[in-house]
Amino acid sequence: MTAIQAKPAPAWEETTATAVLVLSDGTVLEGRGIGATGQAVGEVCFNTAMTGYEEILTDPSYAGQIITFTFPHIGNVGTNEEDIETVNMAAASGVRGCILQADITNPSNFRATRHLDQWLKARGIIGLAGLDTRALTARIREKGMPNAVIAHAPDGQFHMAALKQEAAAWPGIDGMDLVPDVTTAQRYGWDEATWHLGQGYGGAGEAKHHVVAIDYGVKRNILRLLTAAGCKVTVVPATASAGEILALQPDGVFLSNGPGDPAETGKYAVPVIQTLLERKVPTFGICLGHQMMALAVGAKTLKMHQGHHGANHPVKDFTTDKVEIVSMNHGFAVNRETLPANATETHVSLFDGSNCGIALTDRPAFSVQHHPEASPGPQDSHYLFLRFVKMMEAAKAG
């Protein structure tokens, strides 16, 4: 008697959805596909900003991540060529995908040059609309940032088993160095200053200081604010040696933002920073640069449960005794319990009490976890660039 054999399940499943988000635990969330077609794997986070979606989607610090926008109306002002934050145009911005609650509307802004959907297609970013982003955000807050695959197929056919396997197998950002994906390949000079309505971006004026910026995934507006503060800016790759940097005779060194696990990037970045600190070169770090400086003085970093991603984060600066509204984008943080005696905590998050800044007591160096160039306040934190300039002036005088 022949045993009855079950028919194998079809490899491809057809749905009414044209995009899916497949979480590492096997959960499948359906929606409408936007942007590029195909599939990408990454870590799902949420961003609470109500504006600046183009800057967010081109921020190299989001490499390896799928962004869930909590604000429902994304795309309503279109896109333009002035608000892009990626400097290294030869490389992808790094973001793996985006998730929206509402469909993208036609742009209604005089600066718009392209519809967001067309812009996403051109940049190869996969999107999903029509998802309950409030529910997904609540899930992330409860369970942490999941690994997932985002896929867009206009015909609604998805190989679900393969997508689930890929999501479950992806190791995640913890332990991953993503800086090589976004850093520059060669040294270059920067001379673009800040933007003004009707005038565009200004040019460099008379430079009083030479700043070498180490590019771990630097944002354009950081370089613009350094230029506007009277600095000649030279950008070098993340792998530049201390000797190469010192040969440029910098008055100061800037440690940029960037993606990935700081402990992994620190394997080659920390020795360079330690040499610069030993030479007492004035140093200023932002985001990943803050974490690099902390690692360089012996502190540790840790993976956060849900991270900080948004433009409404209150941070207290103990040096001014003021509270600033800042922009943040990080999934790792400096563990304050591991800070050495020569590292003073200068900033703290008023959301969860995590460390957001340090200053060294025996070296001309400081750093912050948030993004002072992103202007959510709108200019609450711009003084940090002037603080860096004064530090360089003091070093020259002393």
Residues serving a catalytic function are: 287, 371, 373
Contacts of 202 (CB under 8 A, 6+ apart): 192, 193, 194, 195, 196, 228
- Burial per residue of 328-337, b for 16 or more beta-carbon CB atoms within 10 angstroms, e otherwise: bbbbbbbebe
294, 343 in Cβ contact below 8 A? yes
Structure tokens at 186: 């060669």
**What is the number of other CB atoms lying within 10 angstroms of the CB of residue 252?**
25
The type of residue at 22 is V
Tokens 């399940």 correspond to 9
Segment (H or E) for 222: helix 220-228
Dihedral of alpha carbons 331, 337, 340, 342, sign: positive
What contacts 24+ positions apart, CB below 8 Å, involve 297-300? 297/339, 297/340, 297/342, 297/343, 297/360, 298/338, 298/340, 299/334, 299/335, 299/338, 299/339, 299/340, 299/343, 300/263, 300/334, 300/335, 300/338
What's the half-sphere exposure (Cβ side, CA atoms, 13 Å) at 387? 16
Structure tokens at 286: 């932002």
44, 66 in Cβ contact below 8 A? yes
Q: Which of 373, 291, 386, 378 is nearest to 87 (CA)?
A: 373
Distance between CA 102 and CA 132 in Å, rounded?
9
Structure tokens at 173: 């950002």
Q: Which of 320, 301, 285 is nearest to 391 (CA)?
A: 285
Helix, coil or strand: residue 150: strand
97, 67 in Cβ contact below 8 A? yes
